[in-house]
Structure 1
Amino acid sequence: MSAYAHFVLRIIDARTGDPVEAAPARRGLTRVEAHTEGFDVTALRVLLTADLLVRALELGGTPVWALLDEERQQAELRAGAAALGIRPFEDGRDAASGLGEAQVIHVVREDGGAEPDGVRLAVAPVHSEAPPGDADPAALRLALLARRRNVPLPLDAATLTDAHDTLVRWRRAVAGWARQPSRPIPDEVRAELRTAWEDDLDVPGVLGVLRWVESAPDLPDGARFETYAYADRLLGLDLTRDLGALT
């Protein structure tokens, strides 16, 4: 049996500081609630963290119910989330009835006032020089992924430019690799990816694996392509966007 066959996503509960299983019951429903407390770049980071959690759970075969528990600036939040490629959340007011979920995880601002009962996934603030609407959405998403979600994130023009350049390079590389025969993802690479994101959503660890794969010697281009396409199911960076664009 392969090393990555058993999916066990563990996250740190901000209430206790202890790791807990995000999906304690096999195939049991997990409810993910995002609490943003208004609209700013930190709120978008909260929504993005919730989106990553949902994606990671779904990759492990866990059914998820994703909700947005926020009454203020909903239109701005949903528009900003859509621009970043964050999938829609249902209205949190629908959570009152419940669906018999095995786990409830609240994704909250680290500096927020609300402290809902249940498992809490805390998101550190973003310190930004400009409003989120001024940034390229794809570059902003990558920039927000570049640090672990419990580490404060300074966001400036240089950071966004670096993220944009990385996206352009990776998308161009993926389009080129796609022209070569497909090859399976090496077991050790897949295991490193899963180990990273199952460790409290260590997305920077996932990005580090991709940087290694980008230039690793003796790795077939077809395997590089499959690795990036697989990781993008979590990252949501549309890394295969430029397929067919090369001449």
Structure 2
Amino acid sequence: MHAWPASEVPALPGKGRDLRIHDTATGGRITLDPGPVARIYVCGITPYDATHMGHAATYNAFDLVQRVWLDTKRQVHYVQNVTDVDDPLLERAVRDGQDWTELAERETALFREDMTALRMLPPKHYIGAVEAIPGIVPLVERLRDAGAAYELDGDVYFSVETDPHFGEVSNLDAEAMRLLSAERGGDPERPGKKNPLDPMLWMAAREGEPSWDGASLGAGRPGWHIECVAIALDHLGMGFDVQGGGSDLAFPHHEMGASHAQVLTGEHPFAQAYVHAGMVALGGEKMSKSRGNLVFVSALRRDGVDPAAIRLALLSHHYRSDWEWTDQVLADAVERLARWRSAVSRPDGLSADALVDEVREALADDLDAPAALAAVDRWAERQNAEGGTDEGAPGLVSRTVDALLGVAL
């Protein structure tokens, strides 16, 4: 599966700061110190309805991570998956009378278009669950043969009790885990499981649903968590720098994935930092496909909204905060974009050297994009009111906003 085209990232004078970021597992900030190549895995979409503002906010957060790393003169090895076979996708296809593969391909293509328009840097590897199945099956077999997985009516489950580190990602108690498991795709009430929290690794073939050859597992399809583990281990290996996604993935998805990988390899941790973006609401409720309260990037683009304004609307909220999309949020972003473009359109201006440092420091401080925007606001306000004599300043501001915030002026 191919990703989307990359926009050029301008080089800035000097060197950026190392990233200090909130780690869900420890509950505090850690300073990331990757080697020459920083490694990041971000969980992708299930392509039956793409791309709403909740998606966009999440991918915007991890685009900033990439940009901060690139500004430190590192390379970035970014991997993202597409869960192109799963219950919600199959259910939507049945509801709409569509072929599930056509639905997945169409929505994935739309997601690529949205990411391109928003100038999100693409992953080096963009892998679908279906194409990953040949690598998933041996991992499930290894877990089963090691006694870390068991069969139940043809399905194969992972035993969470085989990982001594289980629970260290989300730091939730058993009851909270059980409630979230039921809410987020698990089956804690299924009779016969060793532990209600045990997640499915391999689902035996169901009538009327797609299935693949699972070798000794029999025909079926993979569970959700093992999909990402197989892709991450194949392309990044253990101990990569950042595992990213929305806050609703901390449990069960990232918790279970970490346990799968740790039992498979005997190493810990799966990732150095678990980083989670907040949820976006609409009308007082979390924006979600199940509720149908969605604002789509593609719909805004069709209505003529500049993608740069959409991106500024996302950047105006700290990535870890939960916030609500409103018409005013977008209107403020449109106005900000106009002010910034007016400021950099002059042939000369106020010195921007200090601004570059301010934006770098804000983003290195747990991706504080609102502080970065405020710094540019201050420069633009003075530039529009007073002007200056530095011929290189407007261009430097444009390159800084482009390189570090992904906004083209």
- Range of TM-score over shorter length: 0.7 to 0.9
Deviates more, 1:213-222 or 1:31-40: 213-222
2:373 matched residue in structure 1: 207
Q: Any residues of structure 2 matched to 1:6-155 within 5 Å, and which? A: 7-25=17-35, 27=36, 29-38=37-46, 39=50, 40-72=52-84, 73-89=107-123, 90-92=125-127, 95-98=232-235, 103-112=240-249, 113-115=252-254, 116-117=257-258, 118=271, 119-128=273-282, 130-135=295-300, 136=305, 137-155=307-325
Structure 1 residue 171: deviation in Å? 1.4
Structure 1 residues without counterparts, runs of 5 or longer: 240-247
Structure 2 residues without counterparts, runs of 5 or longer: 1-13, 85-106, 133-230, 259-270, 284-294
Structure 1 residue 33: deviation in Å? 1.4
Structure 1 residue 43: deviation in Å? 1.5
1:109-140, CA deviations, whole angstroms, 9 ceiling, x for partnerless residues?
Answer: 11234114322111001124633322222221
1:192 matched residue in structure 2: 358
Identical pairs, percent: 24
Structure 1 residue 234: deviation in Å? 1.0
Instruction: Measure, in 2, the Cα distance between the counterparts of 1:154 and 1:36.
Output: 22
SS in 1 for 2:82: coil
Q: Compared with structure 1, are the counterparts of its residues 7 and 158 closer, same or farther at alpha carbon in structure 2 (3 Å cutoff)?
A: closer
1:173 matched residue in structure 2: 343
Is the Cα contact below 8 Å between 2:16 and 2:68 reproduced in 1? Answer: no
Q: Compared with structure 1, are the counterparts of its residues 62 and 125 closer, same or farther at alpha carbon in structure 2 (3 Å cutoff)?
A: same
Instruction: Measure, in 1, the Cα distance between the counterparts of 2:242 and 2:401.
Output: 23
Aligned amino acid, residue 40 of structure 2: V
Aligned amino acid, residue 22 of structure 2: I
Instruction: Measure, in 1, the Cα distance between the counterparts of 2:75 and 2:308.
Output: 27
Aligned amino acid, residue 70 of structure 1: V
Structure 1 residue 37: deviation in Å? 4.5
- RMSD value over aligned CA atoms? 2.6
Q: Compared with structure 1, are the counterparts of its residues 220 and 17 closer, same or farther at alpha carbon in structure 2 (3 Å cutoff)?
A: farther
Is the Cα contact below 8 Å between 1:34 and 1:46 reproduced in 2? Answer: no
SS in 2 for 1:237: coil
Structure 1 residue 235: deviation in Å? 0.9
Q: Which runs of 4+ in 1 moved over 6 A?
A: none
Is the Cα contact below 8 Å between 1:30 and 1:101 reproduced in 2? Answer: no
Instruction: Measure, in 2, the Cα distance between the counterparts of 1:81 and 1:5.
Output: 27
2:93 matched residue in structure 1: none
Q: Compared with structure 1, are the counterparts of its residues 227 and 220 closer, same or farther at alpha carbon in structure 2 (3 Å cutoff)?
A: farther
Task: Please say which structure displays the higher CA radius of gyration.
Answer: 2
SS in 1 for 2:235: coil
SS in 2 for 1:97: helix
1:16-37, CA deviations, whole angstroms, 9 ceiling, x for partnerless residues?
Answer: 1122233343x2x211111144
TM-score between the two structures when normalised by the length of structure 1? 0.81
1:245 matched residue in structure 2: none
Give the number of equivalent residue pairs.
Answer: 230
Instruction: Measure, in 2, the Cα distance between the counterparts of 1:19 and 1:236.
Output: 24
Instruction: Measure, in 2, the Cα distance between the counterparts of 1:103 and 1:184.
Output: 39
